[in-house]
Chains A and B, each alone.
Chain A
Amino acid sequence: EAQVTQNPRYLITVTGKKLTVTCSQNMNHEYMSWYRQDPGLGLRQIYYSMNVEVTDKGDVPEGYKVSRKEKRNFPLILESPSPNQTSLYFCASRKPGTGDTYEQYFGPGTRLTVT
């Protein structure tokens, strides 16, 4: 089954404690992206990657790091989480192209709470 998986699905942590949210896709997609969703703000793009070792900032990259060492994985790293990073996080992937079959697949989401 084609899917994007994220782990963990739920996480409660404390300010300053480094954490990593993993994202993996089994569709051999070149493109991957991270979003955060906040009430009243919709989804905002944090980082995206268009290939291994190629990453770009989205609209809200501050406080986050990413890496793309393998095509299937795109972890999101919060080196010193703060309460304003409490949010619902989505990973997504797609293959390059412009047709109907080139739209993004989303993971199930990770609910992060930073106290």
Chain B
Amino acid sequence: AQTVTQSQPEMSVQEAETVTLSCTYDTSESDYYLFWYKQPPSRQMILVIRQEAYKQQNATENRFSVNFQKAAKSFSLKISDSQLGDAAMYFCAYRTSGSGTYKYIFGTGTRLKVLA
């Protein structure tokens, strides 16, 4: 069975600085998808970034980028130029690549605080 581990329950970053959130996973599959979701105080789940395992290039979305290390089964999220609006709970998630399933595995989350 697949697992997703987020070992940092809480992180803090100064506004305008850079922070990295860690995520490791375990799977025997060779093809899969990894995600970072943001959950602000409104509780809405927002997709931040998505990485396909067969792509070696790390995904980037504006100030958000990932460091995907497939052999190490590591998928960290880097937030550059942190803003107050980045304060939220962040979840790492895994999905198998098969189109015949709808199974997602989520990590336990990292609460990010942004200090003014």
Q: Which residues of A contact B (CB under 8 A)?
A: 31, 33, 35, 40-45, 48-50, 56, 58-59, 88, 90, 92, 94, 96-98, 100, 103-104, 106, 108-109
Contacts and interface: CB of A to CB of B under 8 A. Distances in A.
A45 B62 CA distance: 30
Contact of A40 (B47, B102, B108): B108
Interface of B: 4, 6, 9, 33, 35, 43-45, 47, 50, 91, 93, 97, 99-109
B91 A106 contact: no
A50 B100 contact: yes
Contacts of A58: 103
Contacts of A104: 104
B104 A45 contact: yes
17 contacts: A42-B4, A42-B6, A42-B107, A43-B106, A45-B103, A45-B104, A48-B103, A50-B102, A59-B105, A92-B45, A96-B99, A98-B97, A100-B50, A106-B44, A108-B43, A108-B44, A109-B44
Contacts of A41: 108
A98 B43 contact: no
B9 to A, nearest CB: 8
Contacts of A106: 44-45
B4 to A, nearest CB: 8
Contact of A98 (B6, B45, B99): B99
Given A50-B102, A58-B103, A108-B44, A42 B108 contact: yes
B43 A109 contact: yes
B102 A33 contact: yes
A96 to B, nearest CB: 5
Given A31-B102, A48-B103, A50-B100, A43 B91 contact: yes
